[in-house]
Amino acid sequence: MSKRLGAIAGLLLIAVVAAACGSGGSGSSGSSGQSSSGSSSQAAQRIEVVGTEFAYNPGTITVKQGQPVEIVFKNEGTVPHDLLIDEFNVKTAAIAAGQSTTVRFTPSRAGQFKIYCAEPGHEAAGMVATLIVE
């Protein structure tokens, strides 16, 4: 008899835990709604990109469509570099070694897009990266 009560208590405990998980899930979705209403638009997807001779790191950036993106571009090379994404009119100035610059845009469509350096010869030398919008 007591064994059976124990089993029932165990089932109740599982039910309570399951209910708690359920409410936790709805609670987190509620808080995400709160953050989007608080800032009027979604938080920017902040990404740091480092440029050197002749590469970007990371070489692939993945962002969400329709959500603002903020790229902080740092030149850790020895000559000026810039960062362009033609499809979204992203174009930083050519910044000197040791400098950084920030560019913001909102990717309006999904796909893969080329990130490249427009300084003469840099793209050909391999200074390219890929933006994936999903």
Q: Is 76 in the site for Cu ion (CB under 5 A)?
A: no
Smallest distance, Cu ion to C-beta of residue 123, A: 8
Q: How far is CA 104 from CA 10, 107, 128, in A?
A: 53, 10, 19
Choice between 87 and 119, CB closer to Cu ion: 119
How many alpha carbons lie under 13 Å from residue 4 in its C-beta half-sphere?
A: 1
Choice between 61 and 117, CB closer to Cu ion: 117
Measure the CA–CA gap between 22 and 112, rounded to whole angstroms: 37
Among 4-12, 95-103, 106-114, 120-128, which window interacts with Cu ion (CB under 5 A)? 120-128
Among 6-14, 15-23, 35-43, 76-84, which window interacts with Cu ion (CB under 5 A)? 76-84
